[in-house]
């Protein structure tokens, strides 16, 4: 079952730390969001294979937007 990693707030994508095909462990940083001059890491809850990266640096995301899909 795929893990859909979603934004928890409106923010800008500061940087993306993973690519499609990367193997990630639980707790790994997937990307960094920026909101109100604060950098917020987005972490992987369960390990797995990155199957989709739906955002890139500079993108603006809304609460609930899917950022990364882990399978």
Q: Render pLDDT for 28-54 as a digit per residue (tens, 0 to 9).
A: 999 999 999 999 999 999 999 999 999
CB atoms within 10 A of CB 58: 9
d(CA 46, CA 61): 22
| Residue 5: predicted pLDDT | 96
What average pLDDT score do residues 46-67 get?
A: 97
Ranges of each domain in the chain? 3-70
Domain 3-70 sits in CATH at 2.40.50.100
Query: How does residue 24 score in pLDDT terms, banded at 50, 70 and 90?
Result: very high
Q: What share of the chain is helix, strand, coil (3-state, %, to 5)?
A: 0, 55, 45
């Amino acid at each position: 079952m795929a893990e859909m990693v979603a934004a928890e707030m409106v923010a800008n994508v500061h940087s993306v730390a993973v690519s499609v095909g990367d193997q990630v462990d639980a707790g790994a940083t997937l990307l960094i969001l920026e909101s109100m001059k604060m950098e917020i890491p987005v972490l992987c809850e369960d390990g797995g294979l990155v199957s989709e990266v739906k955002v890139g640096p500079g993108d603006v995301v809304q609460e609930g937007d899917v950022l990364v899909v882990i399978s």
